[in-house]
């Protein structure tokens, strides 16, 4: 068997997806299913006085649920990090889309009609709608000071570093919301069970989050909750935690109605109500030597959490850890806050705090280079992190530091110097000919920690099982889901690589909490790097179990290339013989359970926020080429080159797909995607007015995979899911600056903002 | 209202309320759930189908308007074997989460029927009404490009 790892094995779900056979949540048809809907607040902050169901309306066939229907033995919370978010508001309203009443009916038209007969009387209260208002705390909406989470990172002595600096440069950068805009909206189907339990099917990333949330909500044991993932039409973090809320709602309706209930959000409800990327304002103060050496950095980073905690403390943590960028800074002081506002809670979106700070950190580098007259590439090269250097948490980078390799590779592949010279020549010619077009080239360097922070993975102990199958193959059991990124394909590749089996003999168990163990959530660029490693080790454990069962106490090794158990150089028995024999022994059925084992040398101080923040980092470098029309301020992407160090590409085409998709989301973040909020309401919650890139907005994306292996990843692999999201915004911003001379300090940098920046600068 | 139409070569006679969308008729009465809804307002193209050979968004069309029409959905694209466009979406990984894929496949088929050898820019133009959030479009364009040359080779052999 050829080693499948490193090959472009076709997606195992490819055929079902190109023929339309793949069944997503809205495609599942269960008889007697009711449609569910959510009635939400219409004010950003207030107090519920009463909920009334119009007594003159005929409620036959309609199931109504509000907070009073949550069982006594349960709790009105959506369990996540903190239990601050109610499943259904009972008293206090903290944002415009707070769910209050749920309705279900077989007939969608009757359902819609009934929704007009629910009266929710709310006393409006003064609200807090921005980071600035929250910081001022004239109105306090959460805790004592509106701060939902705070975090400090300190390294060295910043005051001494600043005193020693020849130059100190300051800058402020801000980023706005970004909507995940998966093309399939959120949807959940809940089925009541006779034992009082509940079965959930849904579009989701993390079945065990829902499994946990429903136990708390309903006050029932885990054995009474079953969560099954349907084929999921994109997530990008947006289906990490929010499906728990919809599952709570569908479960309450289904239990009360005694029938299956399906809640499918339409686009408007999905964009307005569900989580988005956190806006942030970041202030940088940087001390440098005259030769461009970074000596100190002070960063204040304030994020907008929205109304509830959700995953915000972890977003803050990941953001701050990457806030100094991929550079060596001996003295660092970072202060970060998550501020509460009366806007829909923000949550996970690919990158998880890092795209925000990388935009700021890289623009900071560009502005420093411009002010000090340094070449921005040489300036970066002078300060970039290498093996043996320390990050802002004083983590010593021990291995797999591919930043410089990515930088060299992308500069070489795009012929950067030539590209820049041609671009300058284009602009000179355009100027002399009176053309309105200007071009620019921009660079960015970025990195992204893989897996959970610090000892998170050790604590979590993600588990994977592998069993021998009847037909002499292997079956992988994991709670890690495929949301498009290719888990269903790469896990079998890893196991097949270890076992020497053909891909057809390695299958994945259905993503069903009754069948698969908790491998940890499908988040944090951890699926391939962390859970994939457990798959690899589970395959090794299976081999050991097989040796024990058939080896008659002898020392055997396994040679995957021969598909045989070896005694020294001799074949003891083949895989096929062994698996057949095992079926006749008490060792059958054979299933191994394997948990993650981290690197024992990882040291992390959670209190001081110091030490090994992540097991390893992935690295990347982007070059963006843009063309700007100086009459209309239209910004057109001409090309984007990216080199990304993923350790090892288990399936290179799938890795390229991750990089290209993440890169285009990053381009959208930079110049197109603008969510408008007014008085706590989302104004543009449709695809017609929240604009994501089409094929005409997308440039040709040139991807160069760099492989600097990581010792504790499967075959050396590291995370790639989030990394490509981090680099495009600053590279595009730098390109726009070169083309137009505008200082780009905020994104999305739309034509309107470009026009404003240029007129402010010329004033 | 009683209407007759032909979907993927199969004759259908259905009774539809006047406000019912063609998308819902296909997904419910015809039980063809390959055609997806992403936005319900003609922006995303996940519901792309062919009506009498013309690329259309099924979410914008009242079912009654399909009276007498010949409709092709993603389920009708393959014959005995997969269509070259489908084969190439698998080979080039033009599908990730897959929710836009049915619409993309139909749009690509529609393009290649009128323009058998499109340039990359023409492909971009042709699928501009189909949003994809996963792929960055790169591999979708690669897939359609190679499907075009496969179809051309097939045509020259015939």
- Laid out side by side, the sheet with A564-567 consists of A557-559, A564-567, A570-574
ipTM rounded to 2 decimals? 0.99
First to last CA, chain B: 44
Q: Which two tokens stand for residue A301?
A: 């980073």
- Within 8 A of B86 by CB-CB distance, chain A residues are 15, 18-19
Partner B contacted by A23 (CB < 8 A): yes
pLDDT at A321: 98
DSSP state of A7: S
- What is the average per-residue pLDDT within A380-388? 98
Residue with tokens 């024999």: A581
What is the model's pTM? 0.98
- Report the range of poorest mean pLDDT among A24-28, A347-351, A452-456, A479-483: A452-456
pLDDT at A600: 86
Partner A contacted by B36 (CB < 8 A): yes
158 residues of chain B, pLDDT tens digit each: 999 999 999 999 999 999 999 999 999 999 999 999 999 999 999 999 999 999 999 999 999 999 999 999 999 999 999 999 999 999 999 999 999 999 999 999 999 999 999 999 999 999 999 999 999 999 999 999 999 999 999 999 87
Which candidate, A76, A81, A73, A56, places its Cα nearest to that of A65?
A76
Would you put residue A732 in left (φ > 0), alpha (ψ -120 to 50) or beta? alpha
Would you put residue A25 in left (φ > 0), alpha (ψ -120 to 50) or beta? alpha
- What is the average per-residue pLDDT within A645-662? 98
- What is the average per-residue pLDDT within A233-241? 98
- What is the average per-residue pLDDT within A563-567? 97
Q: List all residues 6 or more positions away from A130 whose beta carbon is below 8 Å from its beta carbon.
A: A304, A341
Chain A closest-CA separation from residue B15 CA (Å): 17
Considering CB atoms only, which of A661, A686, A695 is closest to B96? A661
Q: What's the CA dihedral at A690, A695, A698, A702 to 10 degrees?
A: 140
Percent residues over pLDDT 90 in chain A? 98
Considering CB atoms only, which of A19, A184, A661 is closest to B74? A19
Residue A24 in this model has a pLDDT that exceeds 60: yes
Residue A178 and residue A669 in contact, taking contact as beta carbons nearer than 8 Å: yes
- Within 8 A of A636 by CB-CB distance, chain B residues are none
A250-289 residues touching B, CB cutoff 8 A: 266-267
Chain A closest-CA separation from residue B38 CA (Å): 5
Return the residue of A nearest to B35 by Cα: A20
Instruction: Note the maximum CA span of chain B.
Output: 48
Residue A403 and residue A326 in contact, taking contact as beta carbons nearer than 8 Å: yes
State how far the Cα of A560 lies from the Cα of A713, in Å rounded to an integer.
19
Residue A568 in this model has a pLDDT that exceeds 90: yes
CB contact under 8 A, B102 and A24: no
Q: List all residues 6 or more positions away from A9 whose beta carbon is below 8 Å from its beta carbon.
A: A489, A493, A503, A651
Residue A17 in this model has a pLDDT that exceeds 80: yes
Considering CB atoms only, which of B97, B100, B102 is closest to A232? B97
pLDDT at A601: 87
B126-155 residues touching A, CB cutoff 8 A: 127-141
- For residue A248, the Cα-to-chain-centroid distance in whole angstroms is 22
Confidence of residue A2 (pLDDT cuts 50, 70, 90): confident
What are A509-537's pLDDT values in tens digits? 999 999 999 999 999 999 999 999 999 99
Which candidate, A704, A700, A701, A702, places its Cα nearest to that of A644?
A704
State how far the Cα of A18 lies from the Cα of A25, in Å rounded to an integer.
17
- What is the average per-residue pLDDT within A257-282? 98
pLDDT at A1: 55
Strands A294-306 and A280-288: antiparallel
Residue B51 and residue B69 in contact, taking contact as beta carbons nearer than 8 Å: yes
- For residue B15, the Cα-to-chain-centroid distance in whole angstroms is 24
Partner B contacted by A236 (CB < 8 A): yes
DSSP state of A417: H
- What is the average per-residue pLDDT within A716-726? 98
Separate counts of helices (H) and strands (E) for chain A: 20, 31
pLDDT at B158: 75
Considering CB atoms only, which of A10, A692, A696 is closest to B124? A696
Partner B contacted by A234 (CB < 8 A): yes
Partner B contacted by A657 (CB < 8 A): yes
A132-171 residues touching B, CB cutoff 8 A: none
Mind giving me the DSSP string for B9-27? TEEEEEE--TT-BHHHIII
Residue A598 in this model has a pLDDT that exceeds 90: no
State how far the Cα of A21 lies from the Cα of B34, in Å rounded to an integer.
6
Residue of B36, B38, B71, B138 best to disrupt the A interface, most CBs of A under 10 A: B138
B69-108 residues touching A, CB cutoff 8 A: 73-75, 77-78, 82, 86, 89-93, 95-102, 105
């Amino acid at each position: 068997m050829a080693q499948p790892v490193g090959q472009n094995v076709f997606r195992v779900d490819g055929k079902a997806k190109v023929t339309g056979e793949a069944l997503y949540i809205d495609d599942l048809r269960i008889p007697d299913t009711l449609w569910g809907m959510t009635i939400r607040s219409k004010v950003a902050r207030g107090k519920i006085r009463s909920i009334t169901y119009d007594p003159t309306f005929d409620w036959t066939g309609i199931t109504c649920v509000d907070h009073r229907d949550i069982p006594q033995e349960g709790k009105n919370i959506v369990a996540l990090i903190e239990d601050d978010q109610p499943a259904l508001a009972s008293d206090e309203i903290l944002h415009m889309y707070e769910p209050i009443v749920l309705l279900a009916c077989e007939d969608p038209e009757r359902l819609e009609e009934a929704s007009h007969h629910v009266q929710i009387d709310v006393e409006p209260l003064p609200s807090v709608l921005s980071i600035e208002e929250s910081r001022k705390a004239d109105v306090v909406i959460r805790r004592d000071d509106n701060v939902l989470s705070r975090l400090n990172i300190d390294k060295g002595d910043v005051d001494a570093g600043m005193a020693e600096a020849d130059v100190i440069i300051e800058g402020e950068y801000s980023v706005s919301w970004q909507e995940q805009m998966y093309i399939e909206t959120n949807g959940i189907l809940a089925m009541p069970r006779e034992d009082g339990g509940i079965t959930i099917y849904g579009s989701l990333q993390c079945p065990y989050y829902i499994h946990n949330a429903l136990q708390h909500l309903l006050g029932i044991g885990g054995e009474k909750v079953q969560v099954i993932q349907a084929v999921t039409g994109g997530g990008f973090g947006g289906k990490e935690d929010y499906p728990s809320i919809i599952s709570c709602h569908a479960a309450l309706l289904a239990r009360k109605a005694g029938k299956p209930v399906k809640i499918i959000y339409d686009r408007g409800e999905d964009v307005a109500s569900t989580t988005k990327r956190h806006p942030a304002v970041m202030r940088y103060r940087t001390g440098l030597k005259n030769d461009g050496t970074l000596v100190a950095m002070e960063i204040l980073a304030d994020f907008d959490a929205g109304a509830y905690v959700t995953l915000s403390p972890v977003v803050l943590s990941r953001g701050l850890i990457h806030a100094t960028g991929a550079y060596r800074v001996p003295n660092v002081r970072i202060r970060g806050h998550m501020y509460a506002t009366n806007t829909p809670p923000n949550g996970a979106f690919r990158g998880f705090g890092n795209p925000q700070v990388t935009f700021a950190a890289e623009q900071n580098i560009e502005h420093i280079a411009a002010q000090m007259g340094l070449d921005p590439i040489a300036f970066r090269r002078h300060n970039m992190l290498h093996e043996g250097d320390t990050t802002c948490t004083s983590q010593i980078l021990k291995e797999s530091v591919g930043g410089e390799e990515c930088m060299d590779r992308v500069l070489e592949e795009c012929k950067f110097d030539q590209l820049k010279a041609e671009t300058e020549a284009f602009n000179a010619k355009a100027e002399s000919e009176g053309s309105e077009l200007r071009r620019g080239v921009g660079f960015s360097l970025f990195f992204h920690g893989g897996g959970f922070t610090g000892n998170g993975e050790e604590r979590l102990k993600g588990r994977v099982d592998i069993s021998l199958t009847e037909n002499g193959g292997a079956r992988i059991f994991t709670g890690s889901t495929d949301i498009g990124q290719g888990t269903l394909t790469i896990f079998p590749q890893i196991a097949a690589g270890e076992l020497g089996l053909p891909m057809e003999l390695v299958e994945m168990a259905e993503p069903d909490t009754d069948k698969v163990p908790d491998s940890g959530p499908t988040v944090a660029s951890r699926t391939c790097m962390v859970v994939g490693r457990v798959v690899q080790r589970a395959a090794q454990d299976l081999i050991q179990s097989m040796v024990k069962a058939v080896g008659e106490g002898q020392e055997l090794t396994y040679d995957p290339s021969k598909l045989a158990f070896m005694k020294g150089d001799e074949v003891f028995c083949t895989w096929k013989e062994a698996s057949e024999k095992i079926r006749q022994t008490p060792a059958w059925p054979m299933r191994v359970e394997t948990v993650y084992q981290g690197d024992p040398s990882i040291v992390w101080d959670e209190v001081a926020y110091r030490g090994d923040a992540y097991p390893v980092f992935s690295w990347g470098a982007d070059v963006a080429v843009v063309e700007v029309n100086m009459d209309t301020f239209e910004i057109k992407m001409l090309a984007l080159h990216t080199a990304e160090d993923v350790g090892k590409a288990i399936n290179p085409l799938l890795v390229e797909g991750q990089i290209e998709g993440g890169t285009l989301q990053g381009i959208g973040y930079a110049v197109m995607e603008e969510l408008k909020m007014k008085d706590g309401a989302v104004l543009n919650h449709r695809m017609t007015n929240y604009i994501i890139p089409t094929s005409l907005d997308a440039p040709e994306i040139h991807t160069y995979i760099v492989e600097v292996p990581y010792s504790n990843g499967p075959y050396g692999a590291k995370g790639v899911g989030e990394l490509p999201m981090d680099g495009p915004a600053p590279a595009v911003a730098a390109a726009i600056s070169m083309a137009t001379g505008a200082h780009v300090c905020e994104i999305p940098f739309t034509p309107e903002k470009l026009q404003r920046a240029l007129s402010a600068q010329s004033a | 209202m009683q209407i007759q139409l032909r979907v993927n070569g199969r004759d259908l006679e259905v009774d539809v309320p006047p406000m019912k969308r063609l998308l819902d008729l296909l997904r419910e009465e015809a039980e063809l759930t390959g055609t997806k809804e992403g936005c319900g307002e003609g922006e995303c193209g996940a519901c792309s189908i062919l009506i009498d050979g013309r690329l259309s968004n099924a979410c914008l069309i009242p079912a009654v308007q399909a009276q007498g029409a010949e409709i092709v959905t993603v389920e009708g694209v393959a014959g005995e074997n997969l269509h070259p466009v489908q084969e190439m979406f698998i080979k080039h990984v033009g599908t990730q989460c897959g929710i836009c894929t049915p619409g993309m496949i139909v749009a690509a088929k529609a393009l290649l029927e009128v323009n058998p050898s499109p340039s990359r820019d023409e492909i971009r133009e042709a699928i501009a009404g189909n949003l994809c959030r996963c792929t960055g479009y790169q591999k979708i364009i690669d897939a359609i490009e190679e499907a075009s040359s496969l179809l051309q080779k097939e045509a020259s052999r015939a």
